[in-house]
Structure 1
């Protein structure tokens, strides 16, 4: 199966997989900022999460309320088997392309 992931979608999917059942909008946003040093908005992360869910690469479930969240519920995201396949496909494609680059091009003295 061919998956067409954009770069940001791939990053969001990787973070959700790494957070294994603990991923939600703020946690994904924070991880991207801390792990990659990349500034992102919560709305761009939510857009990517919902788009990935529409593509069948993520599932979500709404958790219970908490006082720390002002009584609001949190939506947790989980990677699906199709999401895992998409990540493996993306990794293999990148590795294949990296293997095509002559060492002289990326080696530094």
Structure 2
């Protein structure tokens, strides 16, 4: 098992950054997460996780151009690093191994 593990919210943030590719910045990430998961996400919790994931080396960030619409403030764009891709792949493999280990699971009838 990997030394580092992702929490559920961390995993969702990394996956969303991957979905958005070059367009992954704060509000766009929140909008995509809310669309995909149909749940509210606060900007504060997202910013905390983005900083943590960047510190762990799973994300990198860069500033975009300043715009008048944002009062001269620049957007911070996030991208997955090779470590971020690797931890997502490891997490997916772990989850799939667990799913595959369930015997005779029949969700249609609500029981195993």
The answer to whether the superposition gives a TM-score over 0.5 is yes
CA RMSD of aligned residues (A): 1.3
Unpaired runs of 5+ residues, structure 2, are: none
Q: For each residue in 1:12-38, what CA deviation from the matched residue of structure 2 results, as whole angstroms up to 9, or x when unmatched?
A: 000001111210111111111111101
1:11 maps to what in 2? 12
Q: Per-residue deviation at 1:107? A: 3.1
Cα separation, 1, equivalents of 2:41 and 2:87: 23
Cross-structure match for 1:54 = 55
C-alpha separation between the residues in 2 aligned to 1:70 and 1:91? Answer: 40
Aligned-pair CA distance for 1:67: 1.8
TM-score scaled by length of structure 2? 0.90
Deviation at 1:106, TM superposition (A): 3.4
Distance 2:99 2:75 in 1: 39
Give deviations 1:27-64, integer Å, cap 9, x for gaps.
Answer: 11111111110111011111111100000000001111
What's 1:107 paired with? 107
**Runs ≥4 residues deviating over 6 A:** none
